[in-house]
Amino acid sequence: MATKLGLLCLTLLLQTTYCGVVSQIPLRSNGNISIELFNDLEELSRIVDIAYCVGLTGTGIQKPFLCASRCQDFDNFELVTTWNTGQLLSDSCGYIVLSHPPSEPRIILAFRGTYSVANTIVDLSTIPQEYAPYPGDDGVEESDRYEGLRKPPKTAKKAECLNCAVHLGFMKSWQYTKPLVLPYIKEMVQKYPEYKLVLVGHSLGGAVAALASLEFEARGWNPQVTTFGEPKIGNEGLVEYLDKVFARNGDEGITHRYRRVTHVDDPVPLLPLTEWGYQPHAGEIYISKLDLPPQVKDLRSCKGDADPDCIAGAENGRDNPTMPFNEQQAGIKGIQDWWKENKGALSVPPRWRIWQIFFAHRDYFWRLGLCVPWHDYKDWYSQYPEPP
């Protein structure tokens, strides 16, 4: 009943601004983001934006690292490979690149989001399925499980995944992507053991990056993960497992290893719905500014899995003012007077603002999702001081 009501509400929201709930949009920033972290996230947003050059509508990425988008920003990048599973196999696309000195030495996997808004909504509506963490019964030989091992997978062994469930569509997308990227990652971590393994994803690509990161951590590759507009990937059990896997020294905060960047008004981090069994995980960094570009003061590091001062606060609302009905003898004029008095208090909860997939969901430091030439980022970026 609740699901049917929610879907009906979604339909009505495309035609009206009233749906029985007022959203509480958190706009505070406590200024706890460093300039160094801000610069890192901004750079990663450009790196993941390049992933939109891969796929049916993209113009591609060529070696050494050439594309119609922001490739010219990264002189020290060397393209390893691109992948595209195709629309029939979850439409997973992205690329692997080496970042050589004098840039920070990194092996980077960039996961693209989806172009199809319709598919996005359908994919976000499925019930969580059972999740078995890697290594498991996946047909992988024991001798192959820790090939390229950088450190003993102690963290993953300590964390148990109890009653874990995952979004089936996201898991299938990773399963289709895995054979296309894993051989390259194995080779790169062995060839460049001093390079940091970095995963970055936008939108549904963020969900695939999350699942990939759990396997990479279990393999002992110690990845750092950054996602922009990542949807919820599973239930409370999976969330607790991910938090434990990426926590360090018992610290509940995981943002030094996993940064889940969200943006005010972006509905995707609030989906799939909590009512369907999905929960957000920790590591959130919240952008509170509505328009572009954000500044350091507009970002805050959030506490726990669902900080009410961050994107989760958009789900905590108060009731709308009650509209009088004819049965209450309000009459047409009474209803009109009520509307004039209360219309400013009525709004659409952010998780139902599906049209924001075109706007707020793409506004992470830049407008992401188009493989097109852009103006020199330094024109904007130079206004921020360099780290000391």
Top mean pLDDT of 120-124, 145-149, 322-326, 350-354 is at 350-354
pLDDT surpasses 80 at 121: no
Candidate from 165-169, 209-213, 256-260, 314-318 with smallest mean pLDDT: 314-318
pLDDT surpasses 70 at 136: no
Query: Residue 69's pLDDT is what?
Result: 87
275 in Cβ contact with 3 (< 8 Å): yes
pLDDT surpasses 50 at 256: yes
**What is the distance between the alpha carbons of residues 117 and 155, in angstroms, rounded to a whole number?**
37
Query: Residue 134's pLDDT is what?
Result: 72
- Top pLDDT among 319 and 81 is at 81
Query: Residue 5's pLDDT is what?
Result: 37
300 in Cβ contact with 283 (< 8 Å): no
CA dihedral 143, 225, 188, 59 (to 10 degrees): 130
pLDDT surpasses 60 at 386: no
From 23, 92, 361, 363, active-site residue: 361
**What is the distance between the alpha carbons of residues 1 and 194, in angstroms, rounded to a whole number?**
54
212 in Cβ contact with 242 (< 8 Å): no
pTM of the model: 0.78
DSSP code at position 379:
H
84 in Cβ contact with 181 (< 8 Å): no
Active site residue 143: no
> What is the DSSP track for 76-137?
TEEEEEEEE--GGGTT-EEEEEEE-TTSPPEEEEEE---S-HHHHHHHTTPPPEE--PSSSS
Active site residue 251: no
Query: Residue 261's pLDDT is what?
Result: 97
Confidence tier at 359 by pLDDT (50, 70, 90): confident
The per-residue b/e assignment along 192-213, b for 16 or more CB within 10 angstroms, e otherwise, is eeebebbbbbbbbbbbbbbbbb
From 69, 203, 288, 347, active-site residue: 203
Short-list 107, 127, 123, CA closest to 115: 123
Element (DSSP H or E) covering residue 363: strand 363-364
Candidate from 40-54, 87-101, 354-368 with smallest mean pLDDT: 354-368
Query: Residue 157's pLDDT is what?
Result: 47
pLDDT surpasses 90 at 196: yes
Active site residue 40: no
pLDDT surpasses 90 at 334: no
- Top pLDDT among 274 and 5 is at 274
DSSP code at position 264:
T
232 in Cβ contact with 278 (< 8 Å): yes
Query: CA–CA distance from 96 to each of 306, 307, 362 (Å)?
Result: 31, 33, 22
Element (DSSP H or E) covering residue 173: helix 168-191
The string of pLDDT tens digits covering residues 293-307 is: 999 999 999 988 989
* Strands (DSSP E) found in 179-305: 196-202, 224-228, 258-263, 284-287, 299-301
- Give mean pLDDT, residues 118-142: 62
Short-list 252, 181, 244, CA closest to 212: 181
Phi, psi for residue 84 in degrees, rounded to 5 = -155, 110
* Omega before 102 within 30 of 0, i.e. cis: yes
DSSP code at position 62:
B
pLDDT surpasses 60 at 156: no
The share of the chain scoring above pLDDT 90, in percent, equals: 41
Query: Residue 56's pLDDT is what?
Result: 61
Structure tokens at 118: 């319709």
Query: Residue 275's pLDDT is what?
Result: 79
Candidate from 6-15, 131-140, 276-285 with smallest mean pLDDT: 6-15
Confidence tier at 16 by pLDDT (50, 70, 90): very low
Query: Residue 290's pLDDT is what?
Result: 87
From 266, 298, 307, 363, active-site residue: 266
